Structure 1
Amino acid sequence: MSRASEFIRLYNEVDAYLRRRTGADDRRSFSHVVQSAARTDRAVRHVRDLLIDYGQLRNAIIHSDEYPEKIIAEPNEETVQEFSRIAGLVMSPPRLIPAFQRVIRCFSPDDPVVSALAYMRDRGYSQVVIQTDDGLQVLTVEGIARWLGRRVEENGMRVEDETLSEAVACEPPGSFVVMGRDDTIFDAQAAFIEHPAPGRARLAVIIVTSNGNRSETPLGLVTPWDLMAAARDGLPRG
């Protein structure tokens, strides 16, 4: 298969996929369909401008006034490979699981604070997950700093005598959200970009469970650094 034929095959797949998603018929232009899909599909929104550019390139490759359509130009290999990667992201965007799956240690509210601090130090983490009666909770370095400040103001402290239940009470609201395993990397990006809501803390971490419920077992964690690493590994920035 020539590079042009492969490019047109990819274009036709993306075009058909987006028309199914939006319910658009053949009278709508490709760029119109892309714009329509981008309103509700974060993966499409992420690469919207690139898709429109590839649509224009498709028109340059094909002479559509004839039937069957005649190929009149040949894209280079790099262009075809990049379009293939973007088509995959649109039609099968990376899900949070397995992309960020990891073994999560859940602490108990009755565990000593020093055990969580040691765990964070040894692994270079900036947060720990706590399983409370109300569901999953996160304790971040910001929450720890607030707790330390409060305890010093009160009457000093012996850290080894303190439990996580006391520290997690100082965690600022909104420092974490829970998302489902089938949410996409683009959904996670949007969560960090759209936070914080007025009066709430900066989002520090996303806990991933099966269905996005705090009562479920955590399957993975996502931080802004994880998303930056994913971008370095080849996720297009759009």
Structure 2
Amino acid sequence: MNDIVEQFEITFNQIHQHLKELNAFPKNDNFVELLQRSKLKHSVIRVHFDQLKQYAKLRNAIVHERISGDYYIATPHEDVVKALQRIKRTLDQPPEALEFATRSVLYFKEDTALSHVMEAFDQHGISQFPIYTKERAFSGLLTNDGIVRWLSQNHKNGRIALEDVCASDVLPVEKDRSVEFLKASATVFDLEERFERSLNENRKLKAVILTESGSPDDLPVGIVTTWDLIKVDRRESDED
């Protein structure tokens, strides 16, 4: 077999295997079908979708339209093989979720005064903070929307007393603040899978908190929101 064709086919088949894994080995393992499914869930595939779809056409021409022996109706250019190999290497070693997370994570304890948390919102321009118990167990995600909701429910004659109000007093008004946890070493595929699953379950995932062990009982080393996922697409596009 022509060396350049062999390199192309081997790399293409390895990418096909990755697509099967990303889709839990469905019965229909047609390359383009898997590509379409993966595009909806994973940034790496989304960025390279059109490119891989064209490579699939080339692969079909090589496999099904061979004229004779090592004479093919189409032969990939060396640059095409190199581009395919770059995509394959990205799938072999996808970026870590931590690369796209906000670090370092600001967090507070349940007994932190609400006035102090509000100052942090204003000072750092962050819209949400994880809250922990004294034993360092995750208690909930406190958001600026939640604080506004609590203030609207607790004013008297236009005045609000904050002297004795703590973060834990506000957490009960937080609505649908779904949070999940991942190991800091998890890949961007693991991260995107969490958000995709929550979407399929009609459950709004507000954030994924990254800890060393993936346990809620560990302090956060990074936090990823839906806004941070935009950075995934942008980086992949810049590297393409």
Return 129-138 or 164-173, whichever deviates more.
Answer: 129-138
Q: Which runs of 5+ in 2 are unaligned?
A: none
Q: Select which of 228, 231, 234 maps to 1:232.
A: 234
> With structure 2 as the length reference, what TM-score do the two structures score?
0.70
Change over 3 Å in CA distance of 1:94–1:144 after alignment to 2? same
Structure 2 residue aligned with 1:144: 147
Q: Which runs of 5+ in 1 are unaligned?
A: none
Structure 1 residue aligned with 2:108: 107
What are the within-5 Å matches in structure 2 for residues 175-190 of structure 1?
Answer: 175-190=178-193
**Amino acid in the other structure paired with 1:189:** E
Post-superposition offset of 1:113:
1.3
Change over 3 Å in CA distance of 1:3–1:130 after alignment to 2? farther
Structure 1 residue aligned with 2:34: 35
Distance in 2 between residues matched to 1:148 and 1:35, nearest whole Å: 48
Distance in 2 between residues matched to 1:156 and 1:23, nearest whole Å: 56
Distance in 2 between residues matched to 1:43 and 1:173, nearest whole Å: 25
Change over 3 Å in CA distance of 1:15–1:130 after alignment to 2? same
Q: SS of 1:144's equivalent?
A: helix
Distance in 2 between residues matched to 1:23 and 1:217, nearest whole Å: 32
Task: Provide the identity percentage.
Answer: 24
Distance in 2 between residues matched to 1:164 and 1:52, nearest whole Å: 51
Distance in 2 between residues matched to 1:105 and 1:179, nearest whole Å: 17
Change over 3 Å in CA distance of 1:107–1:44 after alignment to 2? closer
Change over 3 Å in CA distance of 1:17–1:230 after alignment to 2? closer
**Amino acid in the other structure paired with 1:178:** F
Two-structure CA RMSD over aligned residues (Å): 4.3
Structure 2 residue aligned with 1:166: 169
Contact 1:43/1:93 (8 A) holds in 2: no
Structure 1 residue aligned with 2:217: 215
Which digits, 9 at most, give the CA deviation of each residue in 1:156-186, with x for residues without a partner? 4223442111112222243322223344334
Change over 3 Å in CA distance of 1:102–1:22 after alignment to 2? closer
Contact 1:209/1:219 (8 A) holds in 2: yes
What are the within-5 Å matches in structure 2 for residues 1-238 of structure 1?
Answer: 7-8=8-9, 10-15=11-16, 31=30, 35=34, 43=42, 46=45, 51-60=52-61, 64=66, 66-67=68-69, 72-75=74-77, 77=79, 79-80=80-81, 82-100=83-101, 102-132=103-133, 133=135, 135-136=137-138, 137-152=140-155, 156-193=159-196, 194-195=198-199, 202-234=204-236
Q: SS of 1:233's equivalent?
A: helix
Aligned length: 228
> With structure 1 as the length reference, what TM-score do the two structures score?
0.70
Return 185-194 or 142-151, whichever deviates more.
Answer: 185-194
Q: SS of 1:221's equivalent?
A: strand
